[in-house]
Structure 1
Amino acid sequence: MDGEIQALNELTQHTSKRPPPGGLSDLAFGSLAGMAGKVVEYPFDTVKVRLQTSSSQVFAGTLDCLRQTWTNEGFRGFYRGLTSPLAGAMAENAVAFYAYNQIQQLIRRASATPSEVGLGLPHLFMSGGVSGAICAFVISPVELVKCKLQVENVPGNAQQGGVRFKGPLSVVGHLLRTEGVAGLYRGIGPTVARETLGVGFWFGTYEMVCRELLRRKGKQAVDKDALGPGSIILAGGCAGIAYNVTSYPIDVVKSMIQTADVRSTEAQSGSPARKGGVVATARAVYSAGGVPAFYRGLGITLLRAFPANAAMFMTYEYLSRLVAR
């Protein structure tokens, strides 16, 4: 075991022979990776948000939510509100990959680490966490719009005043009229917390799994070009699992805050969740179902996490390889 740990630590002192893309390449490849992942994951995400924001009296579980969505809305119901998060995923991932690589360069300069020497895993986890905090300000308004559209059609839910949203622009217009720009950033606090923790583990886990797979291949340098599609799928899938397992309870609180005015039980009362505080909302979630309530919908989330994140990293990795040729 000590020998394996030493070998893995040695790998962290090397970097890929292919330098990471920079600038416009990061933005373009990250954008396309985000689009690929979002198309794969969105139906699962719709079920997740509906489970997170509904009681067991509305949906008995994942299969019941799937059945009701299909019966009441058909195939299109699973993709309700896709336009906004698709654009958001492209923007978020473009920023995430760009910021991730740029933060690594800042760390190199601050620590006088030459470009041919790889950063250690703690630095990579930290780079991912900082990039996640930055991304939160890009994705928060997008997720707010997405969650409202996903939850609005759940049986029994209705916007206060009888408002029915026609699409993303309808949601944005309503928020600007009733709450101003600040309304677009409802839930920004838990979003920042979720992205800082989750994206740190997302990038960190991806790098850690890649390095372990390279070590098993007997490679002496961290060269992702030596990894085939199966390895990238495994590393990307594990990254998605790590992101969701670590940040899911925060995501539940965030979703509850962002959909409080759409869910009938909250819209009709001055409940803690309706008032919008993070602590009050967390207490309301706990009171409703204890610790398990913070993990309602986790199963469907993990089911979508593996293929969606594998698709994202595969897209980014192979586009980067094409440019390096």
Structure 2
Amino acid sequence: MEAEFQTVSEIAQHSSARPKASGAEDLAFGSLAGMMGKCVEYPFDTVKVRLQTSETQVFSGTVDCLRQTWRNEGFRGFYRGLTSPLVGAMAENAIAFYAYNRIQGAIRSITAVPSDAALSLPQLFLSGGLSGTICAFVISPVELVKCKLQVENVQGYAGAANPGAVKFKGPLSVVAHLLKTQGIVGMYKGIAPTVARETLGVGFWFGAYELVCRQLVRASQSSSTPLHSKADLGPASIILAGGCAGIAYNLTSYPIDVVKSYIQTADVRSPASERPGIAGTIRIIYGRGGVPAFYRGLGITLLRAFPANAAMFMTYEYLTRLSAELRKK
């Protein structure tokens, strides 16, 4: 086969090339990408968190959760608590892309990989995982607030209280309550599982995206118009790679996310009950339904993961390309 790149290693070396963004552009483009993704995924996320944390008698499944949320709260119910995670998603993705690219630079320096050569997939997974660790400390307080707002009124759906009754007026109300009752430490409840989820999940997020992009570039070598790098991939390819990245993130980190959500909403769901740690929470969740209990809500999560993450990577990639074109003029 005659192609510009004759070996798999040569294809991998060039397939990850993209117009290089500055640190400021990574922050700006990552922020806009996070905003786009969050707007797409948030209604699905609300249903996911409610399924993860509610007792089985509240919702029989995804469809029942959708029906009851609509009946009790209407369209706004699916976007309850959006403000905090929207800001958080913008900050998280800005830091994720910034850290991801800066960590790659550090790995190149340590391993003497030339700046015009792509890193290996394990190195990209490592870059993604370390960027996820950093992001966890930004996103944990935001998710704490979000989860409390998403689930505080749903226990009444089962008839124990008035459906729709709420304790918090909004994100600032949650923050004020936590600071008053628990101090700054209270804002980081659930930080351990959040770090574990983000380190693992973001590693697979970036890693899967880069892997799919490389495979698409490699597959094009047998066509009449072979691609030279990731920068040559069209919208359909970016959508596919971004969607696969979202699926990979959730499939690998979902059980950890269930534990995290359960810990962060314990005081809202059962104000008078004891607050178990990670091991106790795992035992409680397992007792509610065995291993499947750690995957409750996964279906709707995967349903939203593909379009939301496709939107994020599309936004970031094309803003980066546009910026590179403008610099040439």
Q: TM-score, normalised by structure 2?
A: 0.91
Aligned-residue offset at 1:267: 2.2
Tell whether the 8 Å contact from 2:15 to 2:213 is kept in structure 1 after alignment. no
- What does residue range 25-174 of structure 1 map to in structure 2 within 5 Å? 25-156=25-156, 164-174=167-177
| Match among 245, 248, 261 for residue 255 of structure 1 | 261
Aligned-residue offset at 1:13: 2.3
2:229 maps to 223
Aligned-residue offset at 1:16: 4.8
What SS is found at the alignment partner of 2:231?
helix
What SS is found at the alignment partner of 2:205?
helix
Distance between the aligned counterparts of 1:88 and 1:118, measured in 2? 30
What SS is found at the alignment partner of 1:140?
helix
Q: Kindly provide the CA deviation profile for residues 69-97 of structure 1, in whole angstroms up to 9, marking residues without a partner as x.
A: 00000000000000000000000000000
Q: Kindly provide the CA deviation profile for residues 109-151 of structure 1, in whole angstroms up to 9, marking residues without a partner as x.
A: 0011111111011100000000000000000000000000000
- Matched residues, number: 311
Tell whether the 8 Å contact from 1:108 to 1:115 is kept in structure 2 after alignment. yes
Q: Kindly provide the CA deviation profile for residues 253-283 of structure 1, in whole angstroms up to 9, marking residues without a partner as x.
A: 00000000000xx32322xxx23x1111011
Distance between the aligned counterparts of 1:127 and 1:220, measured in 2? 28
2:204 maps to 201
Distance between the aligned counterparts of 1:152 and 1:294, measured in 2? 21
Distance between the aligned counterparts of 1:300 and 1:18, measured in 2? 32
Identity of aligned residues (%): 74
Tell whether the 8 Å contact from 1:15 to 1:118 is kept in structure 2 after alignment. yes
What SS is found at the alignment partner of 1:13?
helix
Distance between the aligned counterparts of 2:147 and 2:30, measured in 1? 23
1:236 lines up with 2:277 in the alignment: no
Letter of the 1:225 counterpart:
A
Letter of the 2:253 counterpart:
S
1:187 lines up with 2:190 in the alignment: yes
Q: Kindly provide the CA deviation profile for residues 22-77 of structure 1, in whole angstroms up to 9, marking residues without a partner as x.
A: 21000000000000000000000000000000122100000000000000000000
1:3 maps to none
Aligned-residue offset at 1:155: 3.3
Return closer, same or farther for 1:17/1:133 CA change in 2, 3 Å cut-off. Answer: closer
What SS is found at the alignment partner of 1:262?
helix
Distance between the aligned counterparts of 2:41 and 2:166, measured in 1? 28
Structure 1 runs not aligned, ≥5 long? 1-5
Q: TM-score, normalised by structure 1?
A: 0.92
Distance between the aligned counterparts of 2:7 and 2:271, measured in 1? 57
Q: Deviation above 3 Å: which 4+ runs of structure 1?
A: 6-10, 15-19, 219-222
1:269 maps to 273
Return closer, same or farther for 1:80/1:163 CA change in 2, 3 Å cut-off. Answer: closer
2:3 maps to none
Distance between the aligned counterparts of 1:188 and 1:296, measured in 2? 21
Q: Kindly provide the CA deviation profile for residues 127-181 of structure 1, in whole angstroms up to 9, marking residues without a partner as x.
A: 00000000000000000000000001203388xxx98100000000000000000
Range with greater deviation from structure 2 (149-158 or 237-246): 149-158
Tell whether the 8 Å contact from 1:12 to 1:121 is kept in structure 2 after alignment. no
Aligned-residue offset at 1:222: 5.9
Return closer, same or farther for 1:16/1:126 CA change in 2, 3 Å cut-off. Answer: closer
2:321 maps to 321
| Cα root mean square deviation, aligned | 1.7
Aligned-residue offset at 1:14: 2.6
